Each structure stands twice: as structure tokens, then as C-alpha cells.
């Protein structure tokens, strides 16, 4: 009996570890709700949706699994071959036997290496294709979201979905899925092979399995928490970054660098800590599995060596040197995939969490979309009518209250009124950025909801106060819709709106670089570029929202001049603070608090001596003071 004492010592050591881990497991509090990481979708649903993306690549997956079987063969067969080699090396052995075994070994090794290589290349390629499809769908869906929906989700979050989360999903296709299957097959294969070689020693190895399972379960709980934290903190940092980088100018102006730096530091440290926790958890788990591996090898060696190898018996069977070598190799190949299985299972969970986040974005129903039977607008005249329009951005906080007005084709209509009175909202409703709650908006006498959104928006040329320029060139910013236009056509549009004056002064003219947001141009120049962009397409209806605000007097003259020309292109609706710019409008609508309080021509409104008259005289006086 005393010969089993060393085995008891090993057992006691492992049990001590097990008890310590169980205590830690019980004490650990996993505050799921606090971190806001509840999963709503079932794993089965996520898998189903992911498989839909994988479906076009059935053949590739079949090939990958075929190759995988070959790459597994090495793990199972090589210990047997090495065992055989040990078995035949006796005092008088035939050299050809040894050589043929070595050749067999090398053959299996080479085939397995080649298969593993081919398999991982194929998997990488396929995985990347699948993920770029997912990324594309996500981006496409984000583009479809209405203004309202888009403004409700922080940009950083969307960036994280399309980049980080898509990457996690890509890991699943390129690594996790294959390795999970491969490792599971290896574990099963080795167990079967061990049983075939020696039942008793296999039972000995299996004594360690309950401990492996126990440690794995505990590890999964800790690592899941760590993963979740890392992910939340990453989204957090991305959101913070995208907002603050866009707002960097404001941060500088208000001298907020220090406090922003502090905020960033907190988030940064948080992410660092979360990563640290993750590393710590893995740092414990891997050595523990290693300990189990070493223990089982020790037991094997002890059992074999206690009887000087040759005629050792364990539970009645002899352990030959051949079996010893084979088992030693099997054991060392057995624990590694088990440890990896546990880790990959975690990554799978994390990939599922990412998939769910992506699918949640994809599942947002598009707020403003084509109604059934919507038709293309086709050729329009440009008559516009607001017919008792009521609109609220949220609930019943009416921003527009019973607004009625008509614009005849080719007329110019101006909207004036205090900030917040609803002018921008009116323009936004025209292009169906939002849907109204009550009333109708008519284009050529037809409710705009009867048209497809894309054909409706094509009728409008929009020039807004904050011109958005993309990084690229002046040319690429002007020809946004149609790349086939010639430089002459573009320059003609530029001349029409007086943009040629500053473009001609640039060495490279239309090819001049435009930096992010058009930072390297003045507000007036940006505005002129946006005018050129609009008139190039000669839209039926042009919309200008305070396009002449914050522009110097010199540029204002240019803009005023081009505005007057643009009025001849088609219907024009213009919001302006400077009343001098809209005196020639066919109709001036005065807004106050979401309602129309006056409308008429400049002369009519002045004669009425109402709100417009007051505004106009106020501005004129101020002008006179400035100019004198």
C-alpha cells in the first residue's frame, strides 16, 4: 500500500488548489447588471444569423474541415509511431524497421503541416470575406437610419460596431470556430487512442478530468467578467474619442484640455485595469492546467519506474517502455487542447456578444422609409405646399403648429424669424428627413410620402449653414453625385456662383486638396464650393439655410450676386438672417414659435408695420451705425 503514498501527495496538492479556487468562485460577485451587459438574443439565434453569412461559403468550410482531419491525424498517430520505435530498439533489431517507422513519422508530420497551412489560409480568406459582408451591411444600415435615429446613437458606438465588434466576429470565423472543433476532436481522438493502448493508464489520466472541468468552469466565470469589462471600456473610450476629437476646437477655446485629459485618463486607466484583470485570469489558469499536466506525467513516471520499467504492473497490467513513451506523448498532447478549449469558448462568448451588438444595430427598424407603392418623382415643376402641417421631434412638443403656405414653381420664398422658430425644421421636412405627424406636404400637388425618398431628395439642392466638405479635392467635393463630369462643366458651375475667383488663385485649381471638414478653407469659400456643388445639378428646388450667415462683407457681395443668379434656376426656399438678402423674394414668411405670423412681399410686409417691419428697421439701424 505504501507505494501509493506519492500519488496521495499529488492528489492532496491538487485538491488544495481546487478548494482555494472554489472559495474564490463563491466569493466573486459578478455584477452583470451594473456593467450593463445583459444578453437579449439567444445563442441559437445568433448562430443562425451568423450561419446565414457563412452559407455562401459552404464549399470552403467543407474543405477546411477535410483538411483539419489530416492535420489532426498527426496528433493521434505520432505517439503510436514513436512508441513503436521505442519498442523495436532492442539488442538485435532490424535497421529497415526503424527507418520505415521514421519515414512514416516524417510523412505524417509533413502531410499534417501542409494541411494545417492550407486550412488556415483558406479559413482566413473566407472569414475575412464573411466579415466584410457583415461590416458592409452594418454600414449600409447605418446609412439608412433616419436623422432622429442617427442622432440618438453616439458616433463612437457606431465606429466600435463596425470596427472592433466586426473584428471579434472575424476572429470567430478565422480562428475560434476551427480551433474549437479541432481541439474537441483531438481530445476525443486521444482518449480513444489511449483506451486502445492501455485501459488502466487511461483511467489514471481520467482521474484528472474532473479537476480540469472544475478549474475550467471557475476560469470561465472570471474570464467572462474580464472580457466584458474590456469590451465596455473599449466602447467607452471610442465614444469619448470620437466626440472629443470632433469637438477639439471648442475644447481648446474653452480651455478644457485639462479636464478632458483627466476624463480620458480615467477611461484609459479603466481599460488598462480591465486588460490587466484579463491577463491575470489567464495567468492563473494556464499554470494550473500545466500543473495538472505535470502531475499526471509524474504519476505515469512513478508508476512505470517503481518496477524498473520492464515488468511494472499497474492494476494488474504490465507497463512496457513502449507504452510509457506513447502515454507520455499522449498526455502532453492532451492537456494543451483542453486548456485552449476553455479559452476559445470564452472568445466564442465574446464573439457572440459582439455579434449581438452588431445585430442590434442591424435590427433597428428604419424610421423614415418608402411607403408601399412609392413611385419615382420623375420630372417635377417645383410647386410646394404645406397643408396644415403639425410636427414634433418628440411626443407632442409641437415644433410646427398648423403651418400652411404655398410656393409656386420657380418662385423664391424666404423664411425669417427668431432662432428656434422652426425654419430649419421646415426645410428638413421637405426632404423627408423626418415624417410629419399631422397634415400634408405636397410637391406638385402630390403628398411627398407617395414618392420614393431617394427620388424625392434628388430634386433638392441643399446649401446649409455648416457646409460639410469631405477630405479629397475641390473637384471631388463638387462632383459628389456624378463622377463623369468634365472640368469645363465644373468650372462653369464655379463661375456661375463666383467660386472661380478664389479657385483660380490656387496653383492646382480644382485639384487643390481639401482637408477633413474643409479646414483649409474659409467659411465663405466653403459656402461657395457648396453652391457650385448644388448648381452643377440644376436641381428643381433649392434650399438655403442661413448660408449667408457668418461671412465677411466682401464674400457676402459675391454670394449675394450668385444667389440672385441661382434664383433663376428653379424654386428656391431661403432662410436668411440678413433681411437685405431676401428683399427680392416673391414671398416672405415670418415665423414665430412654430407658427406663421405674417407673409407677403417685402413691400407688403413693410406696409403692414408688423414683426417684419420691426426686424427690418432694427437691422437697418444697426447697419447704419456700423457703416458710419
Ligand X SMILES: Nc1ncnc2c1ncn2[C@@H]1O[C@H](COP(=O)(O)OP(=O)(O)O)[C@@H](O)[C@H]1O
CB of 546 to ligand X, least distance (A): 8
Q: Is 421 in the site for ligand X (CB under 6 A)?
A: yes
- Which residue in the set 419, 484, 486, 568 belongs to the binding site for ligand X (CB under 6 A)? 419
- C-alpha 80/C-alpha 320 separation (Å) is 13
User: Among Mg ion, ligand X, none, what binds residue 382 when CB lies within 5 to 8 Å by partner kind?
Assistant: none
Interface pattern 386-405 for ligand X (x via CB under 6 A): -------x-----x------
Considering the complex, state which of residue 422 and residue 439 has its C-beta at the smaller distance from ligand X: 422
Give the range of 69-77, 81-89, 219-227, 415-423 binding ligand X by CB under 6 A: 415-423
Decide: helix, strand or coil at residue 454: helix
Q: Is 300 in the site for ligand X (CB under 6 A)?
A: no
Cα three-residue angle 414-418-420, rounded to 5 degrees = 100
Considering the complex, state which of residue 278 and residue 424 has its C-beta at the smaller distance from Mg ion: 424
Considering the complex, state which of residue 424 and residue 498 has its C-beta at the smaller distance from ligand X: 424
Phi, then psi, of 358 in degrees rounded to 5: -65, -45
Query: What letter would DSSP give residue 440?
Result: E
The number of CA neighbours under 13 Å toward the Cβ of 23 is 6
- Which residue in the set 138, 198, 278, 425 belongs to the binding site for ligand X (CB under 6 A)? 425
Q: Is 568 in the site for ligand X (CB under 6 A)?
A: no
Cβ neighbours of residue 624 closer than 8 Å, sequence gap 6 or more: none
Considering the complex, state which of residue 78 and residue 424 has its C-beta at the smaller distance from ligand X: 424
Q: Is 430 in the site for ligand X (CB under 6 A)?
A: no
For residue 41, the tally of other CB atoms under 10 A from its CB is 18
User: Among Mg ion, ligand X, none, what binds residue 4 when CB lies within 5 to 8 Å by partner kind?
Assistant: none
Q: Is 40 in the site for ligand X (CB under 6 A)?
A: no
Interface pattern 336-375 for ligand X (x via CB under 6 A): ----------------------------------------
Interface pattern 127-156 for ligand X (x via CB under 6 A): ------------------------x-----
Cell of 17: 488548489
CB of 422 to Mg ion, least distance (A): 8
Question: Cα 253 from chain centroid?
Answer: 31
Give the range of 55-63, 243-251, 258-266, 414-422 binding ligand X by CB under 6 A: 414-422
CB of 427 to Mg ion, least distance (A): 8
Considering the complex, state which of residue 80 and residue 543 has its C-beta at the smaller distance from ligand X: 543
CB of 420 to Mg ion, least distance (A): 8
CB of 390 to ligand X, least distance (A): 13
Cell of 380: 417635377
- Which residue, among 166, 163, 162, 216, has the nearest Cα to 187 in the 3D structure? 216
Answer for the pair 289, 212: CB distance below 8 angstroms, yes or no: yes
User: Among ligand X, Mg ion, none, what binds residue 514 when CB lies within 5 to 8 Å by partner kind?
Assistant: none
Total chain residues near ligand X (CB under 6 A): 11
User: Among Mg ion, ligand X, none, what binds residue 518 when CB lies within 5 to 8 Å by partner kind?
Assistant: none
- Which residue, among 558, 492, 493, 496, has the nearest Cα to 525 in the 3D structure? 558
CB of 561 to ligand X, least distance (A): 25
User: Among ligand X, Mg ion, none, what binds residue 456 when CB lies within 5 to 8 Å by partner kind?
Assistant: none
Query: What letter would DSSP give residue 394?
Result: S
User: Among ligand X, Mg ion, none, what binds residue 77 when CB lies within 5 to 8 Å by partner kind?
Assistant: none
Interface pattern 472-511 for ligand X (x via CB under 6 A): ----------------------------------------
Binding site for Mg ion (CB under 5 A): 424
CB of 146 to ligand X, least distance (A): 10
Cβ neighbours of residue 215 closer than 8 Å, sequence gap 6 or more: 18, 21, 285, 288, 289, 292
Answer for the pair 519, 543: CB distance below 8 angstroms, yes or no: no
Handedness of CA 191, 195, 198, 202 (dihedral sign): positive
Give the range of 34-42, 175-183, 382-390, 420-428 binding ligand X by CB under 6 A: 420-428
Decide: helix, strand or coil at residue 90: coil
Considering the complex, state which of residue 179 and residue 428 has its C-beta at the smaller distance from ligand X: 428
Considering the complex, state which of residue 407 and residue 416 has its C-beta at the smaller distance from Mg ion: 416
CB of 379 to ligand X, least distance (A): 30
Helical H segments across 89-207, by residue range: 95-144, 147-152, 155-160, 166-171, 177-197, 199-206
Cβ neighbours of residue 452 closer than 8 Å, sequence gap 6 or more: 370, 374, 375, 376, 377
Nearest residue (beta carbon) to Mg ion: 424
CB of 612 to ligand X, least distance (A): 15
Q: Is 424 in the site for ligand X (CB under 6 A)?
A: yes
CB of 425 to ligand X, least distance (A): 3
CA distances from 110 to 219, 249, 607 (A): 35, 60, 96
Cβ neighbours of residue 5 closer than 8 Å, sequence gap 6 or more: none
CB of 593 to ligand X, least distance (A): 9
- C-alpha 269/C-alpha 12 separation (Å) is 40
Cβ neighbours of residue 280 closer than 8 Å, sequence gap 6 or more: 226
Q: Is 548 in the site for ligand X (CB under 6 A)?
A: no
Considering the complex, state which of residue 283 and residue 420 has its C-beta at the smaller distance from Mg ion: 420
User: Among ligand X, Mg ion, none, what binds residue 499 when CB lies within 5 to 8 Å by partner kind?
Assistant: none
Q: In what order do the strands lie in the sheet with 398-407?
A: 398-407, 384-392, 438-443, 446-447
CA distances from 141 to 136, 435, 455, 507, 586 (A): 8, 19, 19, 40, 41
Q: Is 423 in the site for ligand X (CB under 6 A)?
A: yes
Considering the complex, state which of residue 174 and residue 424 has its C-beta at the smaller distance from ligand X: 424
CB of 547 to ligand X, least distance (A): 13
- DSSP string of 196-255, one letter each residue: HH-HHHHHHHHTTHHHHHHHHHHHHHHHHHHHHHHHHHHHHHHHHHHHHHHTHHHHHHTT
CB of 614 to Mg ion, least distance (A): 20
For residue 63, the tally of other CB atoms under 10 A from its CB is 16
Q: Is 539 in the site for ligand X (CB under 6 A)?
A: no
Positions touching ligand X (CB under 6 A) are 151, 393, 399, 417, 419-425
Amino acid at each position: 500500500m505504501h507505494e501509493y503514498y506519492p500519488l496521495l501527495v499529488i492528489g492532496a496538492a491538487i485538491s488544495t488548489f481546487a478548494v482555494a479556487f472554489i472559495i474564490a468562485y463563491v466569493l466573486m460577485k459578478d455584477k452583470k447588471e451594473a456593467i450593463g451587459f445583459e444578453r437579449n438574443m439567444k445563442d441559437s439565434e445568433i448562430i443562425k444569423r451568423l450561419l446565414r453569412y457563412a452559407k455562401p461559403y459552404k464549399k470552403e468550410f467543407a474543405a477546411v474541415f477535410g483538411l483539419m482531419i489530416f492535420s489532426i491525424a498527426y496528433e493521434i498517430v505520432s505517439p503510436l509511431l514513436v512508441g513503436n520505435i521505442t519498442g523495436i530498439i532492442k539488442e538485435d533489431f532490424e535497421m529497415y524497421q526503424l527507418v520505415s517507422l521514421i519515414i512514416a513519422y516524417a510523412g505524417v508530420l509533413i502531410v499534417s503541416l501542409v494541411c494545417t497551412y492550407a486550412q488556415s489560409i483558406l479559413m482566413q480568406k473566407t472569414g475575412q470575406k464573411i466579415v466584410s459582408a457583415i461590416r458592409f451591411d452594418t454600414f449600409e444600415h447605418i446609412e439608412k437610419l433616419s436623422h432622429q435615429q442617427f442622432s440618438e446613437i453616439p458616433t463612437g458606438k457606431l465606429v466600435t460596431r463596425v470596427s472592433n465588434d466586426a473584428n471579434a466576429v472575424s476572429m470567430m470565423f478565422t480562428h475560434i470556430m476551427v480551433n474549437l472543433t479541432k481541439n474537441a476532436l483531438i481530445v476525443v481522438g486521444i482518449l480513444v487512442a489511449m483506451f486502445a493502448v492501455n485501459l488502466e493508464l487511461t483511467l489514471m489520466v481520467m482521474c484528472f478530468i474532473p479537476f480540469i472541468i472544475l478549474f475550467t468552469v471557475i476560469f470561465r466565470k472570471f474570464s467572462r467578467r474580464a472580457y466584458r469589462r474590456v469590451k465596455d471600456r473599449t466602447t467607452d473610450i471610442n465614444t469619448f474619442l470620437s466626440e472629443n476629437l470632433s469637438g477639439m476646437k471648442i475644447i481648446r477655446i474653452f480651455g478644457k484640455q485639462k479636464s478632458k485629459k483627466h476624463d480620458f485618463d480615467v477611461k484609459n486607466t479603466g481599460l488598462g485595469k480591465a486588460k490587466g484583470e484579463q491577463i491575470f485570469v489567464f495567468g492563473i489558469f494556464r499554470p494550473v492546467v500545466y500543473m495538472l499536466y505535470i502531475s499526471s506525467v509524474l504519476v505515469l513516471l512513478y508508476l512505470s519506474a517503481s518496477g524498473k520499467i520492464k515488468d511494472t504492473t499497474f492494476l494488474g497490467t504490465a507497463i512496457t517502455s513502449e507504452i510509457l513513451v506513447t502515454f507520455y506523448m499522449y498526455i502532453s498532447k492532451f492537456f494543451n487542447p483542453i486548456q485552449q478549449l476553455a479559452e476559445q469558448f470564452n472568445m466564442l462568448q465574446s464573439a457572440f456578444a459582439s455579434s449581438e451588438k452588431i445585430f442590434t444595430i442591424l435590427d433597428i427598424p428604419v424610421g423614415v422609409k418608402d411607403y408601399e407603392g412609392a413611385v419615382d418623382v420623375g420630372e417635377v415643376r417645383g410647386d410646394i405646399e404645406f397643408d396644415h402641417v403639425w410636427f414634433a421631434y418628440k411626443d407632442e412638443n409641437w415644433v410646427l403648429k398648423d403651418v400652411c403656405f404655398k410656393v409656386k414653381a420657380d418662385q423664391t420664398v424666404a423664411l425669417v424669424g427668431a432662432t428656434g422658430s422652426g425654419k430649419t425644421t421646415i426645410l428638413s421636412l421637405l426632404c423627408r428627413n423626418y415624417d410629419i405627424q399631422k397634415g400634408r406636404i405636397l410637391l406638385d400637388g402630390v403628398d411627398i410620402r407617395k414618392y420614393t425618398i431617394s427620388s424625392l431628395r434628388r430634386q433638392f439642392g441643399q446649401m446649409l449653414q455648416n457646409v460639410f466638405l469631405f477630405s479629397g479635392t475641390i473637384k471631388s467635393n463638387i462632383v459628389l453625385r456624378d463622377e463623369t463630369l468634365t472640368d469645363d462643366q465644373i468650372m462653369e458651375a464655379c463661375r456661375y456662383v463666383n467660386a472661380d475667383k478664389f479657385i483660380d488663385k490656387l496653383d492646382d485649381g480644382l485639384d487643390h486638396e481639401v482637408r477633413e471638414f474643409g479646414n483649409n478653407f474659409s467659411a465663405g469659400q466653403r459656402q461657395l464650393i457648396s453652391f457650385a456643388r448644388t448648381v452643377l445639378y440644376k436641381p428643381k428646388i433649392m434650399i438655403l439655410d442661413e448660408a449667408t450667415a457668418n461671412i465677411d462683407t466682401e464674400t457676402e457681395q459675391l454670394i449675394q450676386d450668385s444667389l440672385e443668379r441661382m434664383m433663376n434656376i428653379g424654386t428656391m426656399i431661403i432662410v436668411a438672417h440678413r433681411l437685405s438678402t431676401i428683399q427680392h423674394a416673391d414671398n416672405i414668411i415670418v415665423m414665430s414659435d412654430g407658427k406663421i405670423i405674417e407673409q407677403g412681399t417685402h413691400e407688403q410686409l413693410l406696409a403692414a408695420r408688423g414683426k417684419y417691419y420691426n426686424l427690418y428697421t432694427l437691422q437697418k439701424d444697426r447697419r447704419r451705425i456700423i457703416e458710419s
